[in-house]
Chain A
């Protein structure tokens, strides 16, 4: 089992309030991702769940049991750190075995579990090396190995992939998702990369300045963002926002259109503009267009489109894909 409940959890460092109050329910077996801009309190929240940081108020419960005052060692959670935090003086084998040793398991059982974890994570060839002799990806695998051997109630990840290069990041992302499928254990994953959030999560928690802006499935947040912040944060490239006259036509203070919901034409359309930059990715083309009286708009069109700097183009929003926001930035 591994359900985690936060009720009215607060955190302040001295006079600085980092988290005013958060209520959150993480169900057993869920993959929950905390996303938000830098400094919004993601790590702080995760560390409070881990027990590495005291709460300034509220309660944290794991499987219905109040653990607010329980030490990190006694919460039965495992954590993977951004810096990997491996023990440099121990071999990979000893690193992975460490939590089992702390739990006082018999040596035979320890060996069995370490071997199993090494198999799953392709670490068999490295068991007798020190962390210093491993690449970043291998270190990350060891950190994950150390987390899984103990069969924890839940896994906590704090930006585990941000030190890896792009290709490896995609690989490890898949591996972690697969691991979640196999183990079925609750995972809480912190990232500021919304692509990681969208691809891995069952449930995304969008945070801003220590507040929960919205909780929902990736597609739920994509289709029905509760406010302008969430709308702008989820999706890549970022949603276009237009205010003024064009928004007023839709009875809104601001309207938002995702780049993939803009049609681009070289003949006619709703807004006429000039191409500033076009990025050709092969599968898609991102076109940045200056439109008089509207501003800069980004359009994402499929495939290779022969537009370049200075070309005149017309843009039109896809019907039914316009998001409308009021003056308080809430979705209408």
Chain B
């Protein structure tokens, strides 16, 4: 009896989980499907789901009309660059705040987080002007700088939390064992924080890859990443759903693949400390 009830319950829960999963995934799936339709079928009503003439012409046309690889390369440079630069700044910052807290450390952390509460558009004009005067508009360097600054609070917070999990006594033990600051960081702190740093790195690459506000506003052509590449298909000659979908699929595929292969690491990193 009890087993039957249990099985029934499990079936219901499984069903709900699948429903939620599909609901969340559906937009992506539909985008991918649309990318293989003709423009006419893409706007047909009722939409055909699987039984349409599969075609690759959108991909061919998108590749022909715009330089996918340039934008892809821009996205890679910008997301990796801003993540690495962010980590270089955040690791020492988080280290000093986690292991040598001062009276104002908590305030500084809160202040950094509060910058994330400001709507980005509020600082668009000053940053645009600064970028213009510094000749950083439509450059990869400019985007790396701005995305580093945008995501820095999150990186610092995440790494700070991971460092906080490391008992101070272990670092003191290293000091007693004759380790200098460098040895302490290289042989003890970093290996213990690697899972946390890795998931911060992954999450930040994803955030930077998908960032659209600053990348759209501060680039025109040369440094435009994939987000701008997608956006270019939603105007100005009207909407081309199929081509837009093809562009979107090409833009999200790399990050989706990265996320798929690193999901274990991501989940582990994001729940660090919560489950042990």
Contacts and interface: CB of A to CB of B under 8 A. Distances in A.
A89 to B, nearest CB: 5
A79 B176 CA distance: 7
B183 A102 contact: yes
A81 B178 contact: no
Contacts, number: 59
Interface stretch (B116-124, B165-173, B208-216, B240-248): B165-173
A89 B191 contact: yes
Contacts of B192: 87-89
Contacts of A258: none
B164 to A, nearest CB: 16
B169 A81 contact: yes
B175 A71 contact: yes
B172 A150 contact: no
Interface in B136-194: 167, 169-170, 172-180, 183, 187-188, 191-192
A103 interface: yes
A325 interface: no
**Of residues B172, B178, B179, which shows the largest number of chain A Cβ atoms within 10 Å of its Cβ?**
B178
B173 A73 contact: no
B146 to A, nearest CB: 36
A102 B176 contact: no
Contacts of B183: 102
Contact of B172 (A85, A87, A98, A103): A85
Contacts of A87: 170, 173-174, 188, 192
Contact of A99 (B170, B172, B178, B188): B178
Secondary structure of the B contact surface, majority rule: helix
Contacts of B188: 87
Contact of A98 (B167, B169, B187): B187
A52 interface: yes
A209 interface: no
A78 interface: yes
Nearest to B179: A102
Contacts of B187: 98
Contact of A72 (B169, B172, B191): B172
A85 B175 contact: no
B176 A73 contact: yes
Given A81-B169, A85-B170, A88-B192, A98 B176 contact: no
B172 A52 contact: yes
Contacts of A6: none
B35 to A, nearest CB: 45
A83 B167 contact: yes
Interface string A47-78: 00011100000000000000000011110011
Nearest to B173: A85
Nearest to B184: A73
Contacts of A89: 191-192
Given A83-B167, A85-B169, A102-B183, A73 B191 contact: no
A62 to B, nearest CB: 14
A18 to B, nearest CB: 18
Given A87-B188, A89-B191, A89-B192, A102 B170 contact: no
Nearest to A146: B177
A150 B167 contact: no
B4 to A, nearest CB: 40
Given A88-B192, A102-B183, A81 B172 contact: yes
B78 to A, nearest CB: 33
Contact of B167 (A52, A79, A85, A99): A85
Interface in A182-233: none
A72 B175 contact: yes
Contacts of B191: 89
Interface in A75-106: 77-79, 81, 83, 85-89, 98-99, 102-103
A189 to B, nearest CB: 15
B99 to A, nearest CB: 12
Interface of B: 167, 169-170, 172-180, 183, 187-188, 191-192
10 contacts: A52-B172, A72-B172, A72-B176, A73-B177, A79-B176, A87-B188, A89-B191, A102-B178, A103-B178, A146-B177
Given A78-B177, A150-B177, 9 more contacts: A71-B175, A74-B178, A85-B169, A86-B173, A87-B173, A88-B170, A98-B174, A102-B178, A150-B178
